[in-house]
Amino acid sequence: MEDTDNSSQRIRKYAHLINSFLEDKWSPNGQEIPMGIEGRIFEEIVQRILDKDSVPTKTEERHQPKPISPLFHEAALGVGRPIRTRRKYYLPDFTLADNLWIDTTLWESEAHKKAFLYAHQCDHLVVIYLCPSRVVYFRNPFPNTIISSVYDHFSHSQIGQHSAHLLRLETIIKRSRCHSK
């Protein structure tokens, strides 16, 4: 996977669509949400939840690779999934104080994969997912990582007005996955 620096361009490109969805103005007219935009919508919802709780974040801050501890290699090999270090830099969705990274993803199985991408590079990692997966082939073995559903990670009062958006997005994602098979 090649790292690119066009995330701000993508954000601007899809900002109108994301805002339309979150303001309940998006009308699909029989169209699906463009491929890849669901993840950006979910990331924006998490950003708004963090903002509501006044959690200071640095969105998509680049981090240079650092050496990987043998403990991470051992934990990864213990579940049969070696850590790969081909990245020029690491770009989590959110960076908080004390080198805490938060990353978002739509599916639980993808959340566990993201642990192998990021856990060895930060002090603490939280991966938040939207939809549970029927099958998770390997689970996160890293002690500095929490993988959690958005509904379990944030309280109902924190999610607040976004619960309807999350449920609607989850329905769209599950429906599109069913149609793609």
144 and 119 Cβ atoms separated by less than 8 Å: yes
Q: What is the pTM of this model?
A: 0.81
Domain annotation covers residue 1? no
Residue range 2-16, pLDDT digits in tens: 444 445 555 566 787
Closest C-alpha to 110, from 124, 128, 95? 128
Q: How far apart are CA 5 and CA 10, in angstroms?
A: 10
Q: Which domain covers residue 161, as residue numbers?
A: 7-180
Domain annotation covers residue 107? yes
Tell me the CB-side half-sphere exposure of residue 139, using CA atoms within 13 A. Answer: 6
Domain annotation covers residue 105? yes
Give me the number of domains the chain comprises: 1
Query: Is residue 87 exposed (0-12), middle (13-18) or buried (19+ Cβ within 10 Å)?
Result: middle
Domain annotation covers residue 117? yes
Domain annotation covers residue 2? no
- In the DSSP assignment, the letter for residue 33 is P
Residue range 62-86, pLDDT digits in tens: 888 888 888 888 888 888 887 777 6
